[in-house]
A and B are shown apart, each in its own frame.
Chain A
Amino acid sequence: MADVLLETRKMNRFFGGLHAVKDVSIRVPQGAIQAVIGPNGAGKTTLFNLIAGTLTPHGGEVFFRGRRITAWKPHAIATLGIARTFQTTKLFAHMTVLENVMVGRHSRTRSGFLAGMLSLPRTWREDRETQVASRAILDELGLTALAGERASELPFGRQRLVEFARALAMEPQMLLLDEPAAGLNIYETRELATLITRIRDRGITCLVVEHDMSLVMDISDEVVVLDQGKKIAQGPPRSIQRDPEVIRIYLGDGNA
């Protein structure tokens, strides 16, 4: 078995009286596409936010490359090499597509306030490199023609791609994708599947929260199923599809 890149141990989170995530332990092996599925309110996004540091856990631990990152600040977790996209795309609306991706290079560059104000040759060179790297990513995702457009003026599907580009600009080791297919049509979803596989082939481990079953079954190496905050199943897509417990929560148990 490959090395474990990310691991959660008995994660817990409450929202008032609601136990949103209950003792969830998952292991994501290096280089895999792992999906987290489950009905609405199963705690998928909460689990995600606990990993990314957006929410503080009320119990449990997170490890990344064997390092304990529980309750670290989101920016520190990002700098360590965990990128993410959001359920509703969160682009910088008034910035151009290129600028959005350039912000993604933040953790890979250094220039501070003084360097920025004085525009030193070193700063200038770094900025050029940031531009070149960002354009290369846009090129790879077929977004070059949109580089100068304002992010808010793009159609929804393109916005999602730009968010991918921005995350990839970080050169992360791991990418957390929160419902990447939400709001996309069939063709876009198919494109997305190819894209995620390509990202994985580049060596970036992907953890995907998703509703779209066909997408999950097509691309993932392993699937984790959550229901009412608890992990109820884990395994390769084929066995998950046959798991009686999973079928019960997806189709309901009144018809048995």
Chain B
Amino acid sequence: MTTLRRHIPLAVGILTIITLHLSLSRAGATYYMTQITMSAYYALVVIGLCLLMGYAGQVSLGHAGFFAVGGYICAVLTTHNLVAYRGAPFILWCRSLGLVFERQDLYGVTILSFAPWPAFVASLTVAGLIAFLIGLPVLRLKGHYLAMATMGFGLIIYRLVLGARLFGQADGISNVPPFPLFGSLQVNGRPPFRVQNYYIAWTVVMAAMLLSVSLIHSRVGRALRSIHENEEAAHSLGIDAYRYKLATFVLSALFAAAGGALLTHYNGSIGPSEVTVMKSIRYVAIVAVGGMANLWGALAMGVVLNFLSLRGVFGTYDDVVFGAILIAMMVFAPEGLLRVPRLRALPFLARRRHG
């Protein structure tokens, strides 16, 4: 019964996705679906960050960094030409396992590179490992040291992709091949694949939501919430807060990396603008607007705000808007926008009422 109730938003979500598709195609405006698909992949980052912020009570200011680790590793592995090494035993071995593949680029040059699947696995592995290594010392400390450490990590990744030839410096990496999933399904941003990719992205996001919602209602989820509410009491019940925080941090990094990897295949490219600190702050702002410990709120806000941003609604004030949103949320509605009407009409009235 309660399990059913918890999945009502899922049904509503799926209905919304289908309705949106039908009305857009009826209005002949399917081009909007491209930005919605992109927003869905960004929302994946937000879902992971929501688990971390809302449930483990830790803030990361480096999630754009994890997004970039996912995206850039996939981009490098699937575009870096290995033709010169085609005779090397390692490459032959990879080839026999189907880990590398050969294709012709626009100019007819033969490119031998890693296939998207192994690249995807590698990118998630690296992102998870980095999160583990950052969290290992930092999460032992009380307070928001994770925010500091992850911000440092984000900055390092930013300078790295700007400086390293391998990562294309200011140009980023383009000509990233599509990601064939199974059958005729592939993550591909070209117009003929638009509808298919809309549904691929949403399937991934809804799967992530399903996993996350189940998680927060499980034993581990209760433990996480208890840590967030009162760490000392959680310890007294045998809960190893450190281990749970670390695992949640790694999980949220994996979500971000998956979002980065898939969006990179979808766009066919990735650039340093994905790695700025402002991008990380944007994700934090979205989780805050969605209501911290509110996965569906974070998802909704993640899709809407990223969509508006991608459509260029905020113009040159893009970053300013997200910064302002974060400040406004902290001042007026620290529990999130979606909780405001239920609790109180106006913050200053509420403050008076509560003394």
Contact = CB atoms under 8 A, between A and B. Distances in A.
B102 interface: no
Interface in A68-115: 73-76, 78-79, 83-84, 86, 90-95, 99, 102-107, 109-113, 115
A234 B212 CA distance: 53
A170 interface: yes
Contacts of B223: 103, 106
Contacts of B233: 86, 90-92
Interface stretch (B25-33, B176-184, B224-232): B224-232
A130 B240 contact: no
A243 interface: no
A115 B235 contact: no
Interface residues of A, number: 41
A107 B215 contact: no
B212 A117 contact: yes
A228 to B, nearest CB: 26
Contacts, number: 104
B211 A117 contact: yes
A54 interface: yes
Contacts of A112: 220
Interface stretch (A18-26, A119-127, A135-143): A119-127
Contact of B218 (A75, A83, A84, A127): A127
B137 interface: no
A106 B224 CA distance: 11
Contacts of A75: 234-241
Given A111-B220, A116-B218, A118-B214, A95 B229 contact: yes
Helix, strand, loop or mixed for chain A's interface?
A: helix
A200 interface: no
B251 interface: yes
B247 interface: yes
Nearest to B236: A84
B237 A103 contact: yes
A79 B236 CA distance: 9
A117 B222 CA distance: 13
B66 to A, nearest CB: 18
Given A75-B241, A116-B214, A109 B226 contact: no
Given A90-B230, A92-B230, A106 B218 contact: no
Nearest to A94: B229
A210 to B, nearest CB: 19
A166 interface: yes
B237 A90 contact: no
Given A92-B225, A95-B229, A83 B219 contact: no
Helix, strand, loop or mixed for chain B's interface?
A: helix
B222 A99 contact: yes
B214 A119 contact: yes
Interface in B228-287: 229-230, 232-241, 247, 251
B334 interface: no
Contacts of A107: 237-238
Contacts of B118: none
A74 B236 CA distance: 6
B221 interface: yes
A111 B219 contact: yes
Contacts of B234: 75, 103
Nearest to A152: B229
A225 interface: no
Nearest to A130: B219
B238 A106 contact: yes
Contacts of A74: 232, 235-236
B180 to A, nearest CB: 26
Contacts of B229: 92-95
B218 A111 contact: yes
A110 B218 CA distance: 11
B219 A127 contact: yes
Contact of A126 (B214, B215, B219, B225): B219
Contacts of A91: 230, 233
B226 A116 contact: no
B323 to A, nearest CB: 29
Contact of B222 (A54, A93, A103, A123): A103
A196 interface: no
A52 interface: yes
Contact of A106 (B215, B230, B232, B239): B239
B85 to A, nearest CB: 37
A95 B223 CA distance: 11
Given A74-B235, A90-B232, A103-B223, 18 more contacts: A73-B235, A75-B235, A75-B237, A75-B238, A76-B238, A78-B235, A83-B236, A86-B236, A92-B229, A93-B230, A95-B225, A99-B222, A103-B239, A106-B237, A113-B220, A113-B247, A115-B218, A116-B221
24 contacts: A52-B236, A75-B234, A76-B238, A84-B236, A86-B232, A86-B236, A91-B230, A92-B230, A92-B233, A93-B230, A103-B222, A103-B234, A103-B237, A103-B239, A106-B238, A110-B219, A113-B220, A113-B247, A116-B214, A116-B220, A126-B219, A127-B218, A127-B219, A167-B236
Top 9 A-B pairs, shortest CB-CB distance: A116-B218, A107-B238, A90-B233, A78-B238, A74-B235, A92-B229, A79-B238, A117-B211, A116-B220
